[in-house]
Amino acid sequence: MNLRPLYMLLAIVLVLWVLIPIFLIATLAFSDRASVFAWPKGLLPQQFSLETISFFFGVEGVWKAIRNSLVVAAMTLVFSVLLGAPAGYALARYRFAGADAYRLLILMTRAFPLAILAIPLAVQFINLGIYDTAFGVALVHTALALPFAVLVTSSLFLGIPKELEEAAWTLGCNRIQAFLRVVLPLALPGLAATAIFAFVISWNEVFAATLLTLRERTLPAFLLTSLNDSPLPFRFAGGFFLIVPALVFIFIIRRYLFTLWGIANR
Amino acid sequence: MRSERYIPYLLILPSVVFLLFLFAWPLLEALLLSVRDSGGQWTLENFRRMAADLYFPDALKYTLLLTLVIVPLQVVMALGMALLLGGISRGRDLFLYVWTIPLGISDLAAGIVWLSIFTERGYLNSFLQGIGLIQQPQLWLSYETPWMIFVAVVAAEVWRATAIVFVILVAGLQLIPKEYSEAAEVFGATPWQRFWKVTLPLLMPSLQVALILRTILALEVFAVVVALGGRNLPVLAGEAYYWYNAYQNPGVAAAYAVIILGISVVATLLYLRLMRSKQEGAA
């Protein structure tokens, strides 16, 4: 019995399951007000219009929230690579006492409810004067992204033969030169993927961002806090806009997805 | 060469300091916050207030129920998808990409996406009208129908977060040498037997990781619920948020956070214990 066609059919059903909701929200985001409230709705777009999406961008505070989100995500990206990559390199290249304990620490932090971090930090950040700042939110987002950064960069550096580095030493490079000239160029695509992943984690995070800000809301925090008193077109356009960058980023880093999650689970 | 021994410690030092500052310290602070009053006196008042709150029993009930429904659904579905991927010859990369798209979608965005389906003039009602089941739009996401909000949250979570389980399981499957399954085939095992006796036991470590990770994340479900039902379907993380933001009471909020952590730890230990004995039983 040939099961291939059945497999293919199931696979396509799963593709539709993922794509149809995205298609529906995109349809709503690019239609006019009347179609958003239309009843009953057809599956296909009624009328292409920029009314809903321009209404969203016209709401006061949206651009500021987008700018805040970008700043926080950029800081998270820089912090997690700067903190994570050296640790990843250490795990890949050296055997040292405490390496296993360190690995365990990294894994434990990944399995931590966010509420237990965000609530006390909100209280303490007020005392430290970094409450309601992009920097404060970026610190918490870095804590979320760092475990991934360490584990991914470690597997990345493991994949670059140590012999290349040693050859550079014998040719007169010191350690830092050898790293910058030999290892770094080879590691660059993977490091970029790590950075993008950190960016996405930050861009998507809502709980901590909401608790740690008051006026300097990130986009998800702004959306969440205005959900109850905002009209449906605003919510749909906002939801769609949140998804777009994530889609692009996942496409760019798709080659590294299994390194990100596959290795990270050991 | 003596100085070399310090290099790895120097390299991990920044991240260790960072994690102490952003994990160890807040954890300690959260515990202290939950068992002390604003004057610094030891008290169980925060937990008492939490337990006496009208929303607490429902929040606990719904959080646990959501986890119990969502996680098994996701694991079964992701396992099916991972095995299905092995049976597909053409377009494998494309399926892989599309199936993992939800990895990049936030919980808030997923909640809003499914709001467009379950809302009063949404796609679900339009569909039901189209097949003649209803005439007028039905209000699904109201406090009168918490079970329907529950269904919507389950749909949104399964849609969004099954991909994480899927990726972990595919990575795990890739580690299993083909020879085991082939050997079983030589000895006459049916595909069904090969799955239960060879693949599944060897996949146990990955399953364990996926279960632990997803359970912990499911226990702190928040933005999806807020987007779909507001407070009409109370959950623990949501209550922590309301107590901190709306009621300005970090003590009770911390008590909620401690409860979430407590349940997560118990669940993790349970998985480690149950699945170890299963692994040994299979060996």
A23, A141: one domain: no
Assess if residue A54 is contained within a domain.
Answer: no
Let me know whether A176 and A131 are in one domain: yes
The answer to whether the peptide bond before residue A86 is cis (omega within 30 degrees of 0) is no
Residues of B with CB below 8 A from A203's CB?
106
Q: CB neighbours of A112 closer than 8 A, spacing ≥ 6?
A: B23, B27, B216, B261
- B27 shares contact with chain A (CB less than 8 Å): yes
Could you give the maximum distance between any two Cα atoms of chain B, in Å?
82
What CATH number did the domain enclosing B147 receive?
1.10.3720.10
Task: Give the helix/strand (H/E) hosting B34.
Answer: helix B25-35
Please indicate whether, in this complex, the C-beta atoms of A211 and B241 are within 8 angstroms of each other.
Answer: yes
- Pair (A40, A141) in one structural domain: no
Residues of chain B where predicted confidence (pLDDT) is lower than 50: 1, 281-283
In degrees, to the nearest 5, what angle opens at C-alpha B85 toward C-alphas B82 and B86? 95
- Considering only CB atoms, which chain B residues are within 8 Å of A207? 220, 222-223, 237, 241
The whole-angstrom separation of Cα B274 and Cα B265 is: 14
- Within a domain: residue B80? yes
| CB-nearest partner of B119 from A232, A238, A247 | A232
B30 touches chain A (CB under 8 A): yes
User: Residue A108: what pLDDT?
Assistant: 80
Total tally of structural domains belonging to chain A: 2
Residues A45 and A75 in one domain: no
CA distance B193 to chain A (A): 18
Confirm whether B196 is domain-assigned: yes
For A249, name the nearest residue in chain B, comparing CA atoms only: B104
Q: Do A257 and B268 touch (CB under 8 A)?
A: no
Q: Does residue B212 form part of some domain?
A: yes
Do the Cβ atoms of B35 and B46 come closer than 8 Å? Answer: yes
Query: For chain B, how many helices (H) and strands (E)?
Result: 14, 0
**B10 in a structural domain:** no
Residues A147, A38, single domain; the answer is no
Tell me the nearest-neighbour CA distance from B150 into chain A, angstroms: 18
Domain assignment present for residue B192? The answer is yes
In chain A, residues 63-122 whose CB comes closer than 8 Å to chain B: 82-84, 86-87, 89-91, 93-94, 96, 98-99, 102, 105-106, 109-117, 119-122
Give the gap in angstroms from C-alpha B281 to the nearest C-alpha of chain A. Answer: 22
Per-residue model confidence (pLDDT) at position A261: 57
Per-residue pLDDT at A259:
65
Q: For residue A137, give the chain B residue with the closest CA.
A: B22
pLDDT at A262: 52
Please check whether residue B15 lies inside any domain of the structure. Answer: no
Return the SS3 of A159: coil
Range of the domain at B138: 63-234
pLDDT of residue A46: 67
Range 166-225 of B in CB contact (< 8 A) with A:
167-168, 170-172, 174, 206, 209-210, 212-213, 216, 219-220, 222-223
Note whether A63 and A45 are same-domain residues: no
CB contact (8 A) between residue A18 and residue B98: yes
Q: How many domains does chain B have?
A: 1
- Among the partner-chain residues B15, B100, B245, the one whose CB lies closest to the CB of A250 is B100
Q: Is B118 on the interface with A (CB under 8 A)?
A: no
Same-domain pairing of A209 and A252: yes
B76 touches chain A (CB under 8 A): no
DSSP H helical ranges for chain A: 4-29, 33-36, 51-58, 62-93, 99-110, 114-128, 134-158, 162-170, 175-178, 184-204, 207-212, 219-225, 232-252, 257-262
Q: Which residue of A has its CA nearest to B230?
A: A228
Closest partner CB to A111 (pick from B33, B213, B256): B213
* CA-based nearest residue in chain B for residue A12: B95
| Cβ–Cβ under 8 Å, residues A125 and A212 | yes
Q: Do A42 and B241 touch (CB under 8 A)?
A: no
Distance (Å, whole) CA A234 – CA A217 = 17
Q: Is B144 helix (H, G, I), strand (E, B) or coil?
A: coil
Residue B173 is assigned to a structural domain of this protein: yes
Question: Are the beta carbons of B150 and B66 closer than 8 angstroms?
Answer: yes
Shortest Cα distance, chain B CAs vs residue A56, angstroms? 14
Do A16 and A88 have their domain in common? no
CA distance, residue A135 to nearest chain B CA (Å): 13
User: For the domain that residue A252 is a member of, what is the CATH number?
Assistant: 1.10.3720.10
Cβ(B237)–Cβ(B153) below 8 Å: no
pLDDT attached to residue B189: 85
- Report pTM: 0.91
Q: pLDDT tens for residues A152-199? A: 898 889 888 888 988 999 998 888 889 999 999 999 988 998 899 899
Residue B241 lies in a domain: no
Rounded CA separation B99/A13 (Å): 11
For residues A20 and A121, membership in a common domain is answered with: no
Low-confidence ranges of chain A (pLDDT < 70): 1, 46, 259-266
- State the sign of the Cα–Cα–Cα–Cα dihedral B86, B92, B93, B99: negative
Interface check for B17 against chain A (CB to CB < 8 A): the answer is: no
What are B108's two structure tokens?
């808030």
Q: Which residues of A touch B254 (CB under 8 A)?
A: 119-120
Is residue A5 one of the residues assigned to a domain? yes
Name every chain B residue with its beta carbon within 8 A of the beta carbon of A8. Answer: 88, 90
Q: Which residues of B touch A243 (CB under 8 A)?
A: 104-106, 109, 113
Residue span of the structural domain in which A7 resides:
1-49
Quote the pLDDT of residue B190.
Answer: 86
Whether residue A129 sits in one domain with residue A254: yes
Which of B121, B170, B210 is nearest residue A37 as measured by Cβ atoms? B121
